[in-house]
Homo-oligomer: A and B are copies of this chain.
Amino acid sequence: MSDHHTYKKVELVGSSKTSIEDAISNALAEAAKSLKLMEWFEVVDTRGHIANGAVAHYQVTIKVGFRVANS
């Protein structure tokens, strides 16, 4: 077994009508369909769309770190 690992980061934008946390969860749920070894996320940017003078969608950009398989 190797004494070190290599990780890769991908940058995602999750959205949600309800909260910043929900936007993060939505992005992770989508990513989990193809990435098996996700270990951490970092919030890069928080923004959103406005409709009728109120928040329509939160849009949260995150970086997700996952271990490269067999590394």
Which A residues form the contact surface with B (CB < 8 A)? 3-17, 19-21, 23-32, 38-43, 45-50, 53-55, 57-58, 61, 63-65, 68, 71
The complex places the Cα of A47 from the Cα of B39 at a distance, in Å, of: 11
A23 to chain B: which residues have CB within 8 Å? Answer: 4
A53 to chain B: which residues have CB within 8 Å? Answer: 28-29, 31-32, 38
Q: Shortest distance in angstroms between A63's beta carbon and chain B's nearest beta carbon?
A: 7
Q: Which of B15, B19, B24, B30 contacts A21 (CB 8 A)?
A: B19
Contact A42 B49, CB 8 Å, known A13-B7, A13-B9, A15-B6: no
Whether A47 pairs with B41 at a CB distance below 8 angstroms is yes
Q: Shortest distance in angstroms between A49's beta carbon and chain B's nearest beta carbon?
A: 6
